[in-house]
Amino acid sequence: MERETFFSLAPEAARERVIEFGGRPFHADVVRREVFERGVLAYADMTSLSQNLRDRLERELPLLSSRETHRTTAPDRTTKLLLELADGATVETVHMPSTRADKGATLCVSTQVGCPVGCPFCASGRAGLERNLAAHEILEQFLYGRSIGPVSRAVVMGIGEPLLNASNLIGALAVVHDELGIGARKITVSTVGFPERVRRLAPTKPPFQLAISLHTPDDAQRDELVPAMAGTPIAAVIEAGAEWFRATGREVTYEYCLLGGANDSRGHAERLVERLRGQRCTVNLIPYNPVAASLPGQVSGVRYRRPSGETAENFRSVLEEGGLVATVRWSRGLSTDAACGQLRIRHGSASGD
Instruction: List residues near ligand SAH by CB under 6 A.
Output: 121-122, 157, 161, 190-192, 213, 255, 257, 286, 288-289, 292, 339
- Planar angle of CA 157, 163, 165, nearest 5 degrees: 95
Q: Which is nearer to ligand SAH, 122 or 134 (CB)?
A: 122
Greatest Cα pair distance, the chain, in angstroms, is 69
Q: Which is nearer to ligand SAH, 19 or 325 (CB)?
A: 325
Q: Does 64 bind ligand SF4 (CB under 6 A)?
A: no
Q: Do 308 and 288 touch, CB atoms closer than 8 A?
A: no
| String of DSSP letters for 121-139 | T-STTTT-EEEEPPHHHHH
Residue 177 neighbours by CB distance under 10 Å: 16
Q: Which is nearer to ligand SF4, 146 or 215 (CB)?
A: 215
**Rounded Cα–Cα distance for residues 320 and 283 (Å):** 10
User: Which partner in ligand SF4, ligand SAH, none is near 209 (CB below 5 to 8 A by kind)?
Assistant: none
Using the rule CB under 6 A, which residue among 105, 115, 139, 273 binds ligand SF4?
115
Q: Does 124 bind ligand SF4 (CB under 6 A)?
A: yes
User: Which partner in ligand SF4, ligand SAH, none is near 288 (CB below 5 to 8 A by kind)?
Assistant: ligand SAH
Q: Do 189 and 156 touch, CB atoms closer than 8 A?
A: yes
Bridge partners (DSSP) of residue 255 are: 213, 284
Using the rule CB under 6 A, which residue among 61, 117, 214, 339 binds ligand SF4?
117
User: Which partner in ligand SAH, ligand SF4, none is near 255 (CB below 5 to 8 A by kind)?
Assistant: ligand SAH
User: Which partner in ligand SAH, ligand SF4, none is near 188 (CB below 5 to 8 A by kind)?
Assistant: none
Q: Which is nearer to ligand SAH, 90 or 289 (CB)?
A: 289
Q: Does 192 bind ligand SF4 (CB under 6 A)?
A: yes
Catalytic residue among 4, 16, 92, 239: 92
Q: Which is nearer to ligand SAH, 61 or 157 (CB)?
A: 157
Q: At closest approach, how far in Å is the CB of 303 from ligand SAH?
A: 11
| String of DSSP letters for 39-85 | ----GGG-TTS-HHHHHHHHHHS-S-S-EEEEEEE-TT--EEEEEE-
Q: Does 119 bind ligand SF4 (CB under 6 A)?
A: yes
Q: At closest approach, how far in Å is the CB of 136 from ligand SAH?
A: 20
Size, binding site for ligand SF4 by CB under 6 A: 10
Q: At closest approach, how far in Å is the CB of 306 from ligand SF4?
A: 16
User: Which partner in ligand SF4, ligand SAH, none is near 289 (CB below 5 to 8 A by kind)?
Assistant: ligand SAH
- Planar angle of CA 129, 133, 134, nearest 5 degrees: 150
Q: Do 336 and 94 touch, CB atoms closer than 8 A?
A: no
Catalytic residue among 115, 119, 122, 340: 340
The answer for 231, left when phi > 0, alpha when psi is -120 to 50, beta otherwise, is left
- 136-171: b (≥16 Cβ within 10 Å) or e: bbbbbbbbbbbbbeebbbbbbbbbbbbbbbbebbbe
User: Which partner in ligand SF4, ligand SAH, none is near 339 (CB below 5 to 8 A by kind)?
Assistant: ligand SAH
Q: Which stretch binds ligand SF4 (CB under 6 A): 4-12, 91-99, 120-128, 306-314?
A: 120-128
Burial class (CB in 10 A: 0-12, 13-18, 19+), 309: exposed
The Cα-based distances of 250 to 166, 188, 200, 246, 353 in angstroms read 18, 11, 16, 8, 38
Q: Which is nearer to ligand SF4, 8 or 165 (CB)?
A: 165
Q: Which is nearer to ligand SAH, 44 or 299 (CB)?
A: 299
Active site (annotated) includes residue 340: yes
Residues known to be catalytic: 92, 340
